Chain A
C-alpha cells in the first residue's frame, strides 16, 4: 500500500501542490490537472528524484515503511514515462535483465524470455529496441519495470505519445498487468479518458 500523508511540493516559499492519498494494492489512483501545477513533481518526490530546487514536506509510506528520505534506488518505486526510455545499447532481453534484482545472469535471461512470452512479446526477445513500435516499446517498458519487482508503480502520462488505436489497447493491457501484479499505482495525466479507464479514484488538482 502506498500512503501519501500531506505530501506538499514547494518551490521557494510557495506550495505548488499538496496531496493526501491511500493507494491499495492493485488500485490505480489518478492525479489530474493542467500542465505546470506540479503533478509530475509529486511522482518525482515519491520516486526520490525531486530536483533540489524543490522542497518536499509530508510523509511517503510504502508497505508500512517511511521512504520519504530514502535514496531513490532503494525505494522500489517503478517509474513509467510517456517515452518508453528503453536503453538502446541493450536489446529487449538485455533491458529486462538489467532491471532484475539478483546476480545469476543465465537464470535472469531465461526468466526475461519467460516474462516476454507470458505477455505475448516472446518474438521480440532478441530485437534491438530501436526497431520496436511505440506500443511494443511501452509494453516492454512495463515488463522491464515489473521485472525489477517494484512495490509501487508511478505512471507519468505513459500513453500520451501513442496513437489513438494503440493507446486504447496498451492502456487496457498496462492496467490489467498492474492489477494482476497487485501493485498500488499513481497515474499522472491530463487526459480524462485515461483517468476514466482506471475505474478508480481520481484526485483533481
Chain B
C-alpha cells in the first residue's frame, strides 16, 4: 500500500471516527425517546416518554439550571479571557500567564470539581483562612456548596473554561500571518492615541472573535451538559438536567431509560438554546460595539480591563495555592481540627491505601490514554499530511476545522447511551475497543487543535529542499517533518493523554462500569467516603496528566536536538 493510499485512508478514518459514533449514538438515544426500544419489547413509536418527562416534577428547573450555569460560566470565562488578553497582549506577563494556566487545562473536570469542593466546603481551605483571620472557632453553617442556583458549578466551569479559551486565542494570535498583521495594526492604533487596552479591544479583539467563536460555542455546549462538575458540586434536588439523565439511565428499573432518552433530547434542546442565547447576545453586543468603534473614545474599557485582569490574576493565584495546599494537606492529614491551617498529625496511610486500591485503575488509565492518544496523534498527523499533499487544502481545512467541533458540541449524554446500546447489540463482548473508540471521539479534536497550527505553519521550503534532495513524500514526512515538529507532537500527545485520563462518562458508560480508571474512581469516592482519600485520588488525577506534560517539555530538549548534545559533549570534555 502506497503512502498516498495510507493518507487517503487516514482522512476517511478521521471523519468516520469523528462523525459516525456521534450520529449512531444520537439515533440510539432518539429511538427510545419516541418509545422504540426492541431490547425492552417496545417495537412501536409512542409519545409517552416525552409526556412522562414533561410531567416530571422540577424538569423545567433542571433545564433552567443547566442553561443558567452554562451561560454564566462561559460568559465569565470569556470576559476573563478578553480582559487578560487586552491587559497583557504583547507583554512579557502573557507568556507567564500562558505557562501558569496550561496545567489547569490538563486537569480533569472531576479533579477540578473536587479541588473547588476542598476550597469552598464549610471547613475547607477558604473557611480555615477566613477563620484564622477573624479568629472564629467553628465552621460557618452557610456554604456555597450545593447551592440551588449552581453558583459553585459556575465557578468550577469558569476555572476550567478560561484556560481553554485563552490558549485557543493565543494559538490564533500566534499564527505568523495574523500576528504580524495585528501587531502592526496595534501599533497604528496606539499611534492614533488609543491606549493599549482599548487598541486591543477595538482592533485585535474585533478580528479575533470570529475565529474564537467555535471554540467558545463548544465550551458553552460542553458546560450545558457537563456531568462531573454538577455531580460533585451542584444541587441534588433537583440536579442539573445532565446529572438527572445519568441517574435515570442508571436506574435499576429499565423502563426509566425511555424517560432518560427523552431527557437526552431535551438536553440537546437546552444546549441549542444556550448557543442561540449566546448568538443573540453576540448580535446585541456587535451592534453596541460598532457604535463604540465610531465613538473615538481612546480609553474605552481600559479601567475595567485593568481592574478585572488584576483581580483575576490575584484570585487565580491565591485559589491555586489554597487548592493545592488544602488537597495536599488532606492527603497526608491524620487529625486536623477546624480552624487549624495545618494538620496536627501527618500520615502516609491514605496514600498507601489509595495507591493499593488504584493500581489497577492507574494501569487501565495509562493503557487507555496511551493507546487512544497514539492512535489520535498518528491519525491527525496523517490527516494533516494528506491536507498538505492534496489540492483540497483550503476546502478541507475549513471543513475539518468545523467538523472537529461536532463531538464537542453534541452533549455526551445525548449520544453515549445510544452508543452503549449499539455496542451491546453488535459487540456485546468487546470491552477495550469500544472504550478506546469513545475516548478517541474526544481526544482527536483536542489533538487536532493542538497540532494543526504548528503543522500548517511548517516552512514548506524545507519540504521543497528535501524533495530536491531526492526524498520521497513518505521519507520527508518521517525524516523531516516529524523530527522538526517533535516538540508540538509531544505536547499533543500529553494533551491527548490528559483528555483521555479525564474521560468520565465515556469510560463509565461504554465499558458498562467494567473498566475502572482513576477518574471514575475519583468521582465515585468524591460523593462520600473519606475526604482524605478523595484528596489522594484527585491529586493522582492531576499528577498523571502533569507528568505527561513534563515529559512533553523535557524530551524535546534531548531528542532531535544536536545543539543540546553538543553542549553536553562540551561539558563532558572541557579541555577540547
Decide yes or no whether A202 CB sits under 8 A from chain B: no
Interface residue total, chain A, C-beta cutoff 8 A: 37
Q: Which of B391, B464, B484 contacts A52 (CB 8 A)?
A: B391
**Chain B residue at smallest Cβ distance from A92:** B562
Which residue of A72, A76, A85, A94 is within 8 Å of B562 (Cβ)? A94
B566 A127 Cβ-Cβ under 8 A: yes
Partner of B470, one of A76, A81, A89, A130: A76
A166: chain B residues at CB < 8 Å are none
Check if A154 is an interface residue, CB within 8 A of chain B. yes
Query: 8 Å CB contacts to B: which residues of A114-133?
Result: 126-131
Which residues of B524-576 have CB atoms within 8 Å of chain A's CB atoms? 560-563, 565-566
Contacts A89-B561, A91-B562, A128-B562 given; does A81 touch B461 at CB 8 Å: yes
CA distance A94 to B483 in the complex (A): 13
Given contacts A79-B464, A130-B563, contact A99 B480 (CB under 8 A): no
Q: How far is the CB of B460 from chain A (nearest CB, A)?
A: 9
Selecting from B55-63, B441-449, B471-479, the interface stretch reads B471-479
**Interfacial chain B residues near A88, Cβ < 8 Å:** 484, 562-563
Instruction: Write the nearest CB–CB distance from B353 to chain A, whole angstroms.
Output: 46
From known contacts A49-B467, A89-B486, A150-B468, infer whether A131 and B563 are also in contact, taking CB-CB under 8 Å.
yes
Measured CB to CB, the nearest residue on chain B to A49 is B464
List CB contacts (< 8 Å) of A30-69 with chain B.
44, 47-49, 52
Set of chain A residues within 8 Å of B471, measured between Cβ atoms: 73, 98
- Residues on A with C-beta less than 8 A from B459 are 85
Rounded to whole angstroms, the CA-CA distance of A150 and B391 in the bound complex is 28
Contact of B378 with A by CB under 8 A: no
A101→B475 CA distance, assembly (Å):
12
User: A48 CA to B471 CA in the complex, in Å?
Assistant: 13
A135 at the B interface (CB under 8 A):
no
The complex places the Cα of A148 from the Cα of B468 at a distance, in Å, of 9
Chain A residues with Cβ below 8 Å from B254 are: none
User: Do B465 and A79 have beta carbons less than 8 Å apart?
Assistant: yes
A77 interface contact, C-beta 8 A: yes
Q: Which one of B472, B486, B562 contacts A73 once the chains associate, using CB atoms below 8 Å?
A: B472
Q: With A73-B473, A85-B461 as given contacts, are A129 and B562 in contact (CB-CB < 8 Å)?
A: yes
User: Cβ of B561: which chain A residues have Cβ within 8 Å of it?
Assistant: 89
Given the known interface contacts A73-B471, A73-B473, the answer about A91 and B566 at a Cβ–Cβ threshold of 8 Å is yes
Produce 1/0 per residue, B477-502, CB < 8 A to A. Answer: 00110011010000000000000000
Residues on B with beta carbons closer than 8 Å to the beta carbon of A101 = 470
Bound state CA distance, A91 and B569, in angstroms? 13
Minimum CB distance partner of B472 in chain A: A73
Interface assignment of A145: CB less than 8 Å from any CB of chain B: yes
Chain A residues with Cβ under 8 A from B285's Cβ? none
Instruction: Decide if A90 is an interface residue (CB 8 Å cutoff).
Output: yes
Tell me, in angstroms, the Cα distance from A8 to B473 when the chains sit together: 26
* Nearest CB of chain B from residue A202's CB, rounded to whole Å: 23
Contacts of B304 in A (CB 8 A): none
Contact B467 A78 (CB under 8 A): no
Contact mask for chain B residues 169-213; partner A; CB cutoff 8 A; 1 contact, 0 none: 000000000000000000000000000000000000000000000
Asked whether A89 and B468 contact (CB < 8 A) given A81-B461, A83-B461, A131-B563, the answer is no
- Choose among A73, A83, A89, A128 the residue that contacts B467 (Cβ–Cβ < 8 A): A73
Closest to B556 in A: A89
Q: How far is A81 from B468 in the complex, measured between Cα atoms in Å?
A: 12
Residues on the B chain within 8 Å of A150, using CB: 468
- Inter-chain contact total with CB atoms closer than 8 Å: 83
Set A52, A77, A94: member contacting B468, Cβ < 8 A: A77
Cα distance A47–B471 in the bound complex, in angstroms: 13
Q: Does B469 touch A at the CB level, under 8 Å?
A: yes
Q: How far is the CA of A9 from the CA of B465 in the complex (A)?
A: 21
Smallest Cβ-Cβ distance to A90: which chain B residue:
B562
With the chains together, A16 CA to B471 CA distance in Å?
30
Closest to A82 in B: B461
Which of B469, B484, B486 is in CB contact (< 8 Å) with A145?
B469
Cβ–Cβ < 8 Å partners of B560 in chain A: 89
Residues of B within 8 A of A90 (CB): 483, 562
Find chain B residues with CB under 8 A from A131 CB. Answer: 563, 566
Task: Assess the B470–A148 pair: CB atoms within 8 A.
Answer: yes
Partner of B566, one of A44, A87, A99, A128: A128
Q: Does the CB pair A47–B562 fall under 8 Å?
A: no
Q: Is B93 an interface residue (CB 8 A)?
A: no
Q: Which residues 156-174 of A have a CB within 8 angstroms of B?
A: none
Residue A144 at the chain B interface, CB threshold 8 Å: yes
CA distance A155 to B374 in the complex (A): 40
Q: Interface digits, B417-457 against A, CB 8 Å rule (1 contact, 0 not)? A: 00000000000000000000000000000000000000000
User: Looking across the interface, which residue of chain B has its beta carbon closest to that of A87?
Assistant: B480
A81 to B461, CA, bound (A): 8
Specify which of A88, A129, A145 lies most central, judged by the most chain B CB atoms within 10 Å of its CB.
A88
CB-CB under 8 A from B462, the residues of chain A are: 85, 87
Report A's interface with B, CB cutoff 8 A: 44, 47-49, 52, 71-79, 81, 83, 85, 87-91, 94, 98-99, 101, 126-131, 144-145, 148, 150, 154
Apart from A77-B468, A79-B467, A145-B469, what are 19 other A-B pairs with CB-CB below 8 Å? A47-B464, A48-B467, A71-B472, A72-B464, A73-B473, A74-B470, A85-B461, A85-B465, A87-B462, A88-B562, A89-B560, A99-B470, A101-B470, A128-B563, A131-B563, A144-B469, A148-B468, A148-B470, A150-B468
CB-defined A-B contacts under 8 Å, sample of 24: A72-B467, A73-B473, A74-B470, A76-B470, A78-B468, A78-B469, A85-B461, A87-B480, A89-B484, A89-B561, A89-B562, A91-B565, A91-B566, A99-B469, A99-B470, A127-B562, A128-B562, A128-B563, A129-B562, A130-B563, A131-B563, A145-B469, A150-B468, A154-B468
| 8 nearest A-B pairs in the assembled complex, by CB-CB distance | A79-B468, A89-B560, A128-B563, A89-B483, A128-B562, A91-B562, A148-B469, A72-B467
